[in-house]
Structures are given as C-alpha cells and as structure tokens.
Amino acid sequence: MLTPKFEVHQDDDNLTVKIFAPYSRISDAEINIEGESFIFYSSPYYLRLTLSGKLVDSELEKYKATFDADHGAFVIVCQKETRGEHFANLDMLTTLLAPHGATGVKKPIIEVIGEESTVDEEEEEFDWMYEQALPDENIVTAGHKYGFGNNTTGVFTSLQSELKGVVDVDDPDNKSVSHRREERITQELSLFDEDHYLADYFDVDTAQQCVEFIPEFYSITSDEVELSYQEKEDMLKLPRKDHLLDKGTKSMVYLGLADILYAWCFNHRVTLGENCVESAWNIAKLSSTLSWLDSFTHLKDVAISSVRRSLAFPLVRNWQLSQEVLKDTAQILTLGRKKVLQCLLEIQRFFNLSEPRYLLNQLYITDYCVWVQKVKDNKLISLADSLKKLKVTKSDMCLDLEDLEAAAHLVLEEEEENVLSPEENINNVVTDLSGLTIIENGAALGENDNEEAVVEDAVITSTREGLSHLSDSDSSSSESDSEDDSDEESDSSDSSDDDSSDDDDSEREDSSSDSSELDSDDDTLSENDEE
C-alpha cells in the first residue's frame, strides 16, 4: 500500500482532508471516520490519520466527499463532534500518521510505598542551567552509545572507511562520552588560528555583511510559519514511531537540538540565506553533536562549544558574528516546533546530498524530525528564554582572545607613534620591522605607507653614500694611475731618444767610412789614369 500525499485544514465547524490519489478508482474509495481516527482506502492508496479531537462518525453520514479531477484529489469535509474545537498538529503530518501509543516512559508496575506521585513528564519544567549527569554506560553488554537519545552503538565498527568523512572522533564505539568531549576540546584549542581570527577581527567588511544581515525569520510569528510542498513530501517519508525518553535523556536531546540549530543558523547567516555547496560541511562541522557525537548536560556548555567552533573552523571567524548566531538560535526556538522542523528537514536534505553524511541523518536528524513534531512549543520557548539570558564571554572560550586583541592593538599604536627618520641605519629599520606580526591582507599593519617610504629613503641614502664613496676612491686611483702612466711615458721617451742618438752616431760613422772608402777608390783611379 502507498501512503498518498495529503493536506488537512480546519475551520470552527469542519475538518477538510485533501488526498492526492491520481491512480485510484473513484468507485473503490472507502472512508471510515470514528472518533479521533480517519481512514481512507482506494487501491493502491491507504491513509490513516490520528487526530487530536473527535469527528462525527461516518455512520451518521455527516461528511461530504468529492473528487477534484483537475488535481486528482479526493476532498473530504468532516464535521467536528465539538464545534469550535481546535485540532492541534495538523501540519505535523508524521504525527498524524502515527498510531496512538505511549508518548513517554511507561510507569513501573512496582512503586515504592510512600513516594509522592510525579507529574506528567510533559508538564515538568527543565532547569537548563542545572548541571546534570549522564547515565552510566554498560559497555559490557551495549558498548559506548551515541546518536539520538544515546540509543545507538556499533555503527562505525562496520563503517570504518566512512568514519573520517562523517565525524572527527576516532573509533567512537570504544570511547565514552567524557573521553570524546576531552578530545574535542583539545582539538578546538589546538586548531584555533590566531592569524585568521585577527584578520577577520580587523577586516570588518568581510564579517560586517553577515552581521548586518537580517534573516527572514525575524519578520514572522509562529502562526505565520508555513511548510512548503517539498517539506510536506519529506515528512511523509519519515518513519512512524514514538521515542520513549526519560527526563534526563529528554534534557540531553533538547540541548543537542540547540547545538544543531546553532550550526544551521550560522550557515544561514554566512550564506545570507542562499546556502551553498559547503552548507552540509558548515552544519556538520560546527555542531559538536554531529561531528563528535557529543552529549550535553548544561546549556552554557552548548553555547561555549558552538561559539568556539565558529571561531576555529569556518571561513568567517568573528566574535560579533558568533554572538548574532546565538540570537538567531533563540529566535528559531521561539517560533516553535514548526520552524524548528523546517530547519531540521533542510539539514536532512543537505546530508542526503552529501555522502557519506547521510549517516548523520540516520543517527540524529531523522529522529529529531519525528520527535520534534510532538514537542510542546512552551518547552522550546523556555529553552529560548534561557539562551537569551545566557552570557558567553571571550574568556569562556579559553583561547586568550582578549590578550590577542590587546596585543594586536598595541602593535598598531606603536606603528603610529614611532616614525623612523631617513638617517636611521637600515639595519635598525629591518630589526624593528622583523618584530611585527603580519596578518593576512596586511590587516594588522594599519597605515604602513610611511614606514615603507622611510625604509625606501634609508635604502636610497645608504646607496647614495656608498656610491659617493666609490666615486671618490675611483677618482684618486685614476689620478695615481695617470701619474704612473706619465712617468712611464717620459721614461720610454728618454730611452727612445737615447736609442735614436746612438743610431744617428752609428749611421754617421757608417756614412763617413763609406765616403772614405769611395775617396780612396777615386784616388787610386786617378793615379792609374796618369800613368
């Protein structure tokens, strides 16, 4: 049998049920109304609703049934037994589909004599500020538990390959809640990035847009919250079951809900309500319940964990932004279970599209979607009021945020006060600048244009002095070299003169000897002629 899509509306006198059954035969439709039960059958569809008030029985034929051919829907108008009675939870489709059953832990058959009777658990008030203790785990028979109401164990033993993609804790089946919490806090403190935090602290433009964003849920009331067609479709796919929780477990489940809603509100604000491909990661990472399978016993622990993780992991890490998200979480709770259910259904869709995070739906989100439909709004409003009164300070984070911010401001003040002169030695300039902490995008340096100019002037002055020194030494060396060259030239000229004189003398001697020989020859010839 198929469960058809349906809608339920009411007025003072009647209850109208619209059932979409396009593949059924109109002639085969059967309707049975008896008190709080409404049953519709037309093969292959079967629908059974359990209402909060009584209707006039179908045997009296006080109802009216028609078929809307345009939409393929049966429209059945039923008369209320008590006119003017308001039927609750008509939007909570999963609750309407669930059969009547126990809504709380069954009372024990054996009671202690003399013990005063207790009030209904739904009427009990929770002290959200009171530290409660989790029940001891029987690890011999059950192992360490986690999941909705801490009722699951052994899941990750058989899914070790998908563990890293779902949670941050290693081997959760063999670690207690307290052990997981200690490891979580250690990780948060060790992965906190001071540079990233200071960058967002000084670069106000990045976070200011998120801080100034006004989500749409601030402009509506609880009565104006309407579930979409997609959300109603998702509700029909939820299991029909009751969750039997004792008082201590209920408190833990409420606190886990606040933790998950904080992660949803953070993603909603930083994406400006548009969501993105990282929305599933944002929600799973910021929630300690989802990422570390943690269980809370005090509301302040929830707030501290949520804010600290918002300063350690996401892209935008800003204290004011984290405080605004706390207000958003309280606002969501104030709007009641219908708005809370909307947020949970959206988370469920995110995780279904982000493998292997679908496991988080099986462990937490699906059960929360079923459970919250039966929660009374006054419990959620009480939790919201306590969250509004809660004060979370920077010192609660154990991240030395105040000291970090003070040191950053001190560096900026020193930069503004200390103006370096152009005559200062370049080595001192470099030494002073090396002590500064440089943050991303230059956010912590303030107006450092003057400093850069000072360093540039100092470098130019030093370079010019070096160049002038080099020019002087070069000129002196060139003069000495020129003198040496002139001396060498004079020596060489003298030696050349000596050589030339010697050559001239030798030439004269040679020429005189040659002339004497000629003269002697002439004399000989003349004597021979006379003879």
Domain over 5-90 is classified CATH 2.40.128.20: no
Residue of 469 and 62 predicted with greater confidence: 62
Task: Report residue 498's pLDDT band, with 50, 70 and 90 as the boundaries.
Answer: very low
Q: pLDDT-based confidence at 243, cuts 50/70/90?
A: confident
Between 336 and 206, residue with greater pLDDT: 336
> Using 50, 70 and 90 to split pLDDT, how confident is the model at 524?
very low
- The number of helices, as runs of H, and strands, as runs of E, in the chain is 17, 6
Q: Which of these ranges, 37-41, 329-333, 409-413, 445-449, has the smallest mean pLDDT?
A: 445-449
For the segment 400-451, what is each residue's pLDDT rounded down to a tens digit?
999 999 999 998 888 777 755 455 545 555 565 555 555 555 444 444 445 5
Kindly report the average pLDDT of the chain as a whole number: 78
Tell whether the model's pLDDT for residue 335 goes beyond 60.
yes
Is the per-residue pLDDT at 512 higher than 50?
A: no
Residue 70, pLDDT above cutoff 90 = no
pLDDT value at residue 405:
92
Whether residue 314 is preceded by a cis peptide bond, meaning omega within 30 degrees of 0, is no
In the structure encoding, which two tokens stand for residue 323, read together?
A: 């405080």
Evaluate if residue 77 carries a pLDDT over 70.
yes
- Is the pLDDT confidence value at 486 over 70? no
Average pLDDT over residues 243-260: 91
Is pLDDT at 455 greater than 60 in this prediction? no
What pLDDT, in 10s, does the model give residues 286-321? 999 999 999 999 999 999 999 999 999 999 999 999
What residue type is assigned to position 218 of the chain?
A: Y
**pLDDT at residue 503 is higher than 90:** no
Cis peptide preceding 44, ω within 30 of 0: yes
Q: What is the mean pLDDT of residues 134-163?
A: 69
Q: How many Cα neighbours within 13 Å face the side chain of 45?
A: 24
So what's the pLDDT on residue 283? 97
More confident call, 344 vs 135:
344
Chain center to CA of 95:
34
Residue 457: per-residue pLDDT: 56
Q: What are the backbone dihedrals phi and psi of residue 354, each rounded to the nearest 5 degrees, phi first? A: -130, 85
**Residue 437 near residue 430 (C-beta atoms within 8 A):** no
Q: Provide the residue ranges of all domains of the chain, joining segments of one domain with +.
A: 5-90, 163-399
State percent of the chain over pLDDT 70.
69
Q: Which residue has the higher pLDDT, 380 or 518?
A: 380
| Least confident window among 147-151, 345-349, 474-478 | 474-478
Q: Per-residue pLDDT for 517 more than 90?
A: no
Q: CA–CA separation, 41 vs 314, rounded Å?
A: 50
pLDDT computed for residue 464 by the predictor? 53
Looking at residue 501, what DSSP letter applies?
A: H
Q: Which residues have C-beta within 8 Å of that of residue 424, sequence separation ≥ 6?
A: 454, 458
Q: What is the pTM of this model?
A: 0.69
pLDDT at 110: 39
In DSSP terms, which residues pair with 17 in a beta bridge? Answer: 8, 76
3-state secondary structure of 38: strand
Which amino acid, 405? E
What are the pLDDT digits (tens) for 88-144? 888 888 888 876 543 333 334 333 334 333 334 445 565 555 555 444 444 333 458
What is the model's pLDDT at position 367?
Answer: 95
User: Hunting for tokens 């993105």 — which residue is that?
Assistant: 276
Q: What pLDDT does residue 330 have?
A: 97
The predicted pLDDT at position 157 comes to: 77
Within 13 A of 275's CA, how many CA atoms are on the CB side? 12
| Alpha-carbon dihedral 261, 267, 270, 276, rounded to 10 degrees | -160
Tokens at 344, concatenated? 């949970």
Tokens for 464, please give them: 């010019």
pLDDT score at 129: 56
The mean per-residue pLDDT over the stretch 66-70 comes to: 87
